[in-house]
Amino acid sequence: MIRPMTPDDSSTALNDSSFAFDDSSWQERAMTLATERLLLHLGRDRRRAIDPGEVYLLEATGQKTLERLRTSARLADVRALGELLLLLAPFGIVRVHRNHAVNARHVLEIRRRSGEADWEVKLEPPVNAVLPVGRTYLKPLWAAFGEGGAGRWTATRRRGSRTARAIRPRGRRRGP
């Protein structure tokens, strides 16, 4: 049963050490919360706090960057992709193309493009985006998954072709 508080009860509650306000613990909690969240700059006067783990894809459009979260809406940050990558790299965001970066936690598959030597990434549902991987960004993508390189496959130039890329396994050649 709830009873009204008397003046004696209120003085006891104020003197109780379990209710004491510890300034340092509050600041530590605020810093932990701040490091778990990121502010997107949606405009000069508008910011939105997001969890970096919710970011699936970043796409550069001029000097702005479109962020794709779990929802179908895209948020436009006024900062450039390179600037956002500096903030998001500790959370597993990896650049895969000059215009795209992905969250490594949401990559479903890394595969070759059909009939080509280039690679592409497929993201998990609900985004389901398929993005090209630039040759420059292939090694950092492998490193994000602990591969340290392209695995046993390496890209080399095919003789007699200026632009074609051939893929061959490392090691001893077999056959004629």
Reported as a single tens digit per residue, the pLDDT across 27-75 is 565 555 556 788 999 998 999 999 998 999 999 998 899 999 988 889 9
- pLDDT of res. 114: 83
- Per DSSP, which regions of 19-174 are E strands? 38-43, 46-50, 57-61, 64-68, 74-77, 93-95, 100-103, 107-112, 119-123, 130-133, 153-157, 165-169
Residues 6+ apart with CB under 8 A from 100: 57, 58, 59, 60, 131, 132
The C-alpha atoms of residue 51 and residue 92 are separated, in whole angstroms, by 12
Rounded average pLDDT over 5-19? 53
Residues 6+ apart with CB under 8 A from 80: 60, 63, 64, 65
- pLDDT of res. 83: 94
Rounded average pLDDT over 14-22? 51
- pLDDT of res. 102: 97
Rounded average pLDDT over 146-163? 51
**What is the per-residue pLDDT across 85-144, written as a single tens digit (0 to 9) for each?**
999 999 999 999 999 999 999 999 999 988 778 999 999 999 999 999 999 999 999 999
- Quick one: which of 97, 103, 99 has its CA closest to 120? 97
- pLDDT of res. 75: 92
Using an 8 Å Cβ cutoff, are 97 and 81 in contact?
A: no
pTM tops 0.85, yes or no: no
- pLDDT of res. 153: 47
Q: In the chain, what are the domains? A: 36-168 (2.40.50.1020)
- pLDDT of res. 7: 56
- 149 vs 167, higher pLDDT: 149
Query: Over 80: is that where the pLDDT of 82 sits?
Result: yes
Torsion on CA atoms 51, 78, 27, 9, rounded to nearest 10: -80
